[in-house]
Amino acid sequence: MRRFRLLSSLLFLLACLTVSAQGDLGSSTPEAMSHLRQARMLTAAGDLDGAIAACRAALAADPRYTEARLQLASAFRSRNQLDSAISQYRRALDLYPRNIDAHQYLASAYLLQGDHASAIGQYKELLRHYPDYPEAYLGLAQVYFSQEDYREAVRYSESAMRLYLARELDENAASARMLAGQAYLALGDADRALAYFKASKRHYEGMAFYDYYLGLAYLDLGNREKSSEYLSSAAQKGYKLPPYIQERLDRLINGN
Measure the CA–CA gap between 213 and 7, rounded to whole angstroms: 10
Measure the CA–CA gap between 200 and 93, rounded to whole angstroms: 36
The answer for residues whose C-beta is within 8 angstroms of residue 145's C-beta and 6 or more apart is 4, 6, 153, 157, 179, 182, 183
Q: Please check the confidence at residue 9 and state whether its pLDDT lies above 90.
A: no
Measure the CA–CA gap between 138 and 177, rounded to whole angstroms: 10
Would you say 139 and 119 are in contact if contact means Cβ atoms under 8 Å apart?
A: yes
How high is the pLDDT of residue 253?
82
More confident residue, 151 or 249: 151
Q: Please check the confidence at residue 1 and state whether its pLDDT lies above 90.
A: no
- What Å distances lie between residue 81 and 39, 85, 98, 118, 122, CA to CA? 17, 6, 24, 17, 19
Residue 25: pLDDT band (50, 70, 90) is low
Would you say 111 and 123 are in contact if contact means Cβ atoms under 8 Å apart?
A: no
Q: Please check the confidence at residue 32 and state whether its pLDDT lies above 60.
A: yes
Mean pLDDT of all residues in 222-244: 94
Q: Please check the confidence at residue 5 and state whether its pLDDT lies above 70.
A: no
How high is the pLDDT of residue 83?
95
Measure the CA–CA gap between 235 and 66, rounded to whole angstroms: 46
| Average pLDDT across the chain, whole number | 89
Residue 81: pLDDT band (50, 70, 90) is very high
How high is the pLDDT of residue 255?
74
The answer for residues whose C-beta is within 8 angstroms of residue 171's C-beta and 6 or more apart is 203
Residue 27: pLDDT band (50, 70, 90) is low
Q: Report pLDDT digits (tens) over 234-246.
A: 999 999 999 999 8
Q: Report pLDDT digits (tens) over 151-193.
A: 999 999 999 999 999 999 999 999 999 999 999 999 999 999 9
More confident residue, 16 or 244: 244
CA angle 137/76/156 to nearest 5° reads 5
**Cα 234 from chain centroid (whole Å):** 22
* pTM of the complete model: 0.83
